[in-house]
């Protein structure tokens, strides 16, 4: 897991980014490459719109998980059982074809005296989703970010997603879902805790 995460630093370098104009010119090249005419009326504003959309779709590069999770957490007297947040919708893009990955993330942890605000988990999923990704890397990054900052007894992350690059091109397998999991701490060392995570996930569907 560490090897995967190392290749994707929390905040990738932002120096030397091209200008807005360079980005728009690149879109014009791709439009011509696809066979269309960037000078026709319907496409005149498209490069600017695409550049703007990319700013939003890839805004995860400008944020670090630590910024969202913070360094201070709520103390919870006595509560030490599993916290599970299910069905966090996300939209990402595969790093191989830059087409959408659409899915749901399920995130659980076993607190060690401290808990996270629930909305923070959703925001961490968004930060990593709004980058070019593989599903495996994204799963590991979410688990590591929570593990590193909160230091709970264990973290479990499951992602189920559909890859548009499989549905729209190549093998064209619509509706197939890819499942990935990452377990840390007691979720990794104790099969019973892992099983309980799976049961809780299924139990409320
Ligand atoms: Zn792909």
Q: What is the pLDDT of residues 117-170, one digit of tens each?
A: 889 999 999 999 999 999 999 999 999 999 999 999 999 999 999 999 888 877
Domain assignment of residue 183, given as a range: 2-7+60-203
CA dihedral 50, 52, 57, 61 (to 10 degrees): 120
* The two structure tokens encoding residue 117: 């605000």
| Domain annotation covers residue 18 | no
| Domain annotation covers residue 41 | no
| Domain annotation covers residue 53 | no
* The two structure tokens encoding residue 160: 């189920």
| Domain annotation covers residue 78 | yes
Residues with CB under 5 A from ligand 1 (ion): 94, 96-97, 165
Q: What angle do CA 26, 30, 36 make, to 5 degrees?
A: 130
| CB of 84 closer than 8 Å to CB of 201 | yes
Question: What DSSP letter does each residue of 78-92 carry, written as one string?
Answer: S--S-EEEEEEEEEE
Residue 2 pLDDT: 46
| Domain annotation covers residue 90 | yes
Phi, psi (rounded to 5 degrees) for 90: -145, 160
Phi, psi (rounded to 5 degrees) for 140: -70, -40
Indicate which residue of 106, 141, 163, 193 is catalytic.
163
| Domain annotation covers residue 16 | no
| Domain annotation covers residue 162 | yes
Number of domains the chain contains? 1
Å from CA of 98 to ligand 1 middle: 7
Å from CA of 33 to ligand 1 middle: 19
Ranges under pLDDT 50 in the chain:
1-10
Record the pTM: 0.88
| CB of 142 closer than 8 Å to CB of 128 | yes
- What CATH number corresponds to the domain at position 146? 3.30.1130.10
| Domain annotation covers residue 20 | no
Residue 157 CB-half CA count within 13 A: 26
Nearest to 88 by CA among 148, 14, 158, 135: 158
Å from CA of 164 to ligand 1 middle: 7
Neighbours of 177 (CB within 10 A): 11
Is 94 an annotated catalytic residue?
yes
Is 163 an annotated catalytic residue?
yes
């Amino acid at each position: 897991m560490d090897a995967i995460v190392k290749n994707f630093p929390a905040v990738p370098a932002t120096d030397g980014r091209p200008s807005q104009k360079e980005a728009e010119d690149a879109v014009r090249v791709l439009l011509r490459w696809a066979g269309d005419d960037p000078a026709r009326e319907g496409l005149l504003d498209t490069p600017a719109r695409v550049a703007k959309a990319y700013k939003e779709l890839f805004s995860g590069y400008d944020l670090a998980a630590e910024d969202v999770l913070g360094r201070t957490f709520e103390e919870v007297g006595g509560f030490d059982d599993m916290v599970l947040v299910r069905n966090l919708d996300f939209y990402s893009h595969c790093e191989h074809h830059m087409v959408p990955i659409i899915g749901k993330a399920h995130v659980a942890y076993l607190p060690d005296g401290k808990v996270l605000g629930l909305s923070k988990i959703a925001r961490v999923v968004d930060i990593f989703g709004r980058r070019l990704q593989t599903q495996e890397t994204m799963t590991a990054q979410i688990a590591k970010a929570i593990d590193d900052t909160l230091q709970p007894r264990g973290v479990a992350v499951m992602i189920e997603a559909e890859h548009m690059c499989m549905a729209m091109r190549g093998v064209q397998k619509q509706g197939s879902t890819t499942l990935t999991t990452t377990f840390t701490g007691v979720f990794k060392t104790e099969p019973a805790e892992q099983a309980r995570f799976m049961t809780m996930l299924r139990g409320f569907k």
